[in-house]
Amino acid sequence: MKVLGISGSLRQGSHNTNLLHAAGELFGDDVEFELWQRLKAVPPYDEDDDVDPAPTAVAELRDAIAGADAVLFATPEYNSSVPGQLKNGLDWASRPIATSVLRNKPVAVVGASTGAFGAVWAQAELRKALSTIGARVVEGEVAVGHAPTRFDENGRLIDEDIREQLEEVVQLLVDAATARQAAGAQVAA
């Protein structure tokens, strides 16, 4: 099984990217976890550019999602919402609408912010957009507030409560991906 991680923060030292690194360590040996770090290269969505072949970074994004059994998103909150570049990436990934690589894809959303609330509004908006796109959004939530206190100077997660919550979401995501694989195998049989 392959799981893709996508961080909504582009910056070096991002707490959200660090959260994905921590999540990556919680998957079992049978899961390959890959952090997708080309979001910055994805151009602004323009329907005139949404043609075949797609812009290179868009094709890479779509291929990365298509090749994964599940996607784990970690998002910061920018002005009570999802960072524009992440939403932009989702807009590209949502097309063509009938065959979107996110359709029926098991996805989970976690998030971190420097404030107290752990990007809960951004997470809610991201889940809403992903549901609209047709992804299977798993239930779990991890809201990492006061993010600078939860990681050490090397960016490693040091909060064991958060790690437990992360483990639950990771398990729910793997369960959803396993269920989808089993359903696909039944249809093929």
Ligand X SMILES: Cc1cc2nc3c(=O)[nH]c(=O)nc-3n(C[C@H](O)[C@H](O)[C@H](O)COP(=O)(O)O)c2cc1C
Complex with ligand X: residue 101 or 142, whichever CB lies closer? 142
φ/ψ region of 135 (left if φ > 0, alpha if ψ in -120 to 50, else beta) reads: beta
Q: Which of 78, 141, 168, 171 binds ligand X (CB under 6 A)?
A: 78
* Binding status of residue 166 toward ligand X by CB under 6 A: no
Distance CA 97, CA 74 (A): 24
Complex with ligand X: residue 23 or 176, whichever CB lies closer? 23
Distance CA 133, CA 100 (A): 8
Q: Which of 37, 56, 80, 149 binds ligand X (CB under 6 A)?
A: 80
Q: Which of residues 8-67 bind ligand X (CB under 6 A)?
A: 9, 11, 14-16
CB 125 within 8 A of CB 84: no
Complex with ligand X: residue 45 or 121, whichever CB lies closer? 121
Q: How far is the CB of 144 from ligand X (least distance, A)?
A: 9
| Helix axes 120-133 and 84-93, enclosed angle (nearest 10) | 10
Report the DSSP pairing between strands 143-144 and 2-7: unpaired
Distance CA 5, CA 16 (A): 10
The token pair at 189 is: 């049989």
Contacting range for ligand X; rule: CB under 6 A; set: 21-29, 98-106, 109-117, 129-137: 109-117
Q: How far is the CB of 75 from ligand X (least distance, A)?
A: 8
Beta bridge mates, 4: 34, 71
Binding mask 143-162 for ligand X (x = CB under 6 A): ----x---------------
Q: Which of 115, 128, 131, 179 binds ligand X (CB under 6 A)?
A: 115
Helix ranges, the chain (H): 15-24, 56-66, 84-93, 120-133, 160-188
# residues contacting ligand X (CB under 6 A):
16
Q: Which of 85, 114, 165, 178 binds ligand X (CB under 6 A)?
A: 114
Q: Which residues bind ligand X (CB under 6 A)?
A: 9, 11, 14-16, 76-80, 112-115, 117, 147
